[in-house]
């Protein structure tokens, strides 16, 4: 019913982190291109890890 006390999976946590970083990157792009690119790079690394996790789950 409610997911208040349930722990989130690693995949869910990474998806949320990726979304937050992409949003921050978009907002920073209006003011500071260098910071935006750093945030975008961090988000891309998280995306790659998510893709690796999904591939490894498919192999099982």
- 2 is a domain residue: no
Per the structure, the count of domains in the chain is: 1
Tell me the pLDDT tens digit for each residue of 2-57: 667 788 888 888 999 999 999 999 999 999 999 999 999 999 999 999 999 887 76
- 5 is a domain residue: no
- 31 is a domain residue: yes
Give yes or no for a contact between 43 and 26, defined as CB atoms under 8 angstroms apart.
no
What is the per-residue pLDDT for 46? 94
- Tell me the whole-structure pTM to 2 decimals: 0.80
Give yes or no for a contact between 10 and 53, defined as CB atoms under 8 angstroms apart.
yes
- Structural domain boundaries enclosing 14: 10-59
What is the per-residue pLDDT for 7? 85
- 39 is a domain residue: yes
Q: Is the pLDDT of residue 1 over 90?
A: no
């Amino acid at each position: 019913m409610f997911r208040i006390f349930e722990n989130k999976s690693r995949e869910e946590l990474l998806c949320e982190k990726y979304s937050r970083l992409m949003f921050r990157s978009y907002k920073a792009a209006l003011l500071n291109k260098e910071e935006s690119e750093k945030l975008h790079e961090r988000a891309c690394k998280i995306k790659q890890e998510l893709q690796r996790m999904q591939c490894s789950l498919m192999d099982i």
